[in-house]
Amino acid sequence: MKREIIKRLPKIELHCHLDGSVRPHILEQLAKQQNHPLAWTGEALKNKLVAPEDCTSLLDYLERFDVVLPYLQEEAAIELISYDLIAQVAEENVRYIEVRFAPLLFNRKGLTIEQIVTAVVTGLKRGEKEFGVKANALLCGMRHHDETTNQSVVTAVKEFYGKGVVGFDLAGDEANYPTALFESVVSIAKEHDLPITLHAGECGCPHNVMTAIELGATRIGHGIAIQKDEAVLNACLDKQTTIEMCPTSNFQTKAVTELKDYPFQKFLDAGLNITINTDNRTVSNTTLTDEYEKLANWYHIDYACMEKLNHNAVNGAFTSKSEKERLHADLTAGYAEYR
Ligand SMILES: O=c1[nH]cnc2c1ncn2[C@@H]1O[C@H](CO)[C@@H](O)[C@H]1O
Ligand SMILES: [Zn+2]
C-alpha cells in the first residue's frame, strides 16, 4: 500500500480524543489569546505534548494532557480546537468522525457542562460545513471523578442526544478504577437507551471488557486484553462488539510492548469487528494515514482489508441508518479501483 493512496482513500474514525489532538501551533495561539504564556515553544512544546517512546504506562501517557488542559477552559478555545480537529481529519479524507472529550475537564473557570458541550458541537458543526466531514461528539466520564460528576455527564448526553452528541464513554485510569465501579453510572445511560462505548482492556484486564459488555457497551475502546481470555473474545463475537483499536497509542501506554503480542491479526482472523483509530493525534503524534501505514508494514494488509476495517467502523458508528448507508456507499466507491 502506498502512503499517498492511503491518505487519499475515504476513512472513518470512531476513537479520537479532542484534548489529545490539539495541534501545537493552535495551543500557542490560545496561550497568546489568553495571555497565559506557555513555558515551551516549537520543538520543546511538541516534546511536552507528545508521549515519549519510553512512556511507562497509561497513567504516564495521560500526564501529557496536563499541558493542554489549562488552555481549554474558555468557550472560544474549545470551539476552535473542535473546528481545527475537523480541519486536520479533512486533510486525510476522513468522511465521518466521532470526537470524544470529558466536558468536566473543561470547567476549571466555571463553564457549565451545557456551555462546554455547546462549544464543542458548534466547532464540530462549523468544521463539518466547511470541510464536508460528518462529525459527532461522545461525552466521556472520567474514572477518577466521583459518581455524581459522572452522572451529570450521562445527563448531558441525554440532553444533547441527537443534537451533535451520540454517546457515552468512560476514559482515564483503567488500572486503578476497574469498570465494575461504574455499574450505576453506565446503567443510567443504558436505561435511557444511550449508545455506550467504554475504554476497556487497555491495562491488561479482560474482565473489564466483559463488565463493559454486560453493562451495555456495544463498542470497546482498545480491548487489547481480549486476547487473554477466550470467553471474553467469544462474548465480543456473540454480541458483534465493535473494537476500537489504536495501534500507536497501544504501544505508548504499554498495553503491549512487542509486535508479536499485538492482537490485530488475531482479532481479524477471529472475526471481531475491529476498527482502526488514532486515539490522540497530538499525544500519539499520529494520523489515521500513519496508523494504516503501520498496519501495512506490520501485517501487509491490502486495500481490501483497509476497506473492510472502515466498513466495520461504519457498522459500529453511533449514527442513523441512512447516514451509514451513505458512508458505506462512499467507501465502496472510494475503494472500487483498489480491490
Ligand atoms: O487511551 C486512553 N485511555 C484512557 N483515557 C484516555 C486515553 N486517551 C485519552 N484519555 C483521557 O480521556 C480524556 C478525555 O478526552 C483525556 O483528558 C484523557 O485523560
Ligand atoms: Zn482513548
**What domains appear along the chain, each with residue ranges and CATH number?**
3-331 (3.20.20.140)
Longest dimension (CA), the chain: 54
CA gap 244, 272 in Å, rounded: 11
33 C-alpha to ligand 2 centroid (Å): 29
pLDDT reported for residue 204: 84
Which residue numbers belong to the known binding site for Zn(2+)?
A: 15, 17, 199, 279
pLDDT reported for residue 89: 99
pLDDT reported for residue 339: 83
What is the strand order of the sheet 197-200 is part of?
197-200, 219-222, 242-245, 273-276
pLDDT in tens, 193-202: 999 999 999 9
Residue nearest to atom 15 of ligand 1 (CA): 101
pLDDT reported for residue 53: 83
Residue whose C-alpha is closest to residue 107's, from 69, 73, 145, 146: 73
pLDDT reported for residue 62: 96
What ligand has the least distance to the C-alpha of 62? 1
Active site amino acids: 202
pLDDT in tens, 78-99: 999 999 999 999 999 999 999 9
pLDDT-flagged residues of the chain (< 50): none
Type of residue found at 103: P
pLDDT reported for residue 151: 98
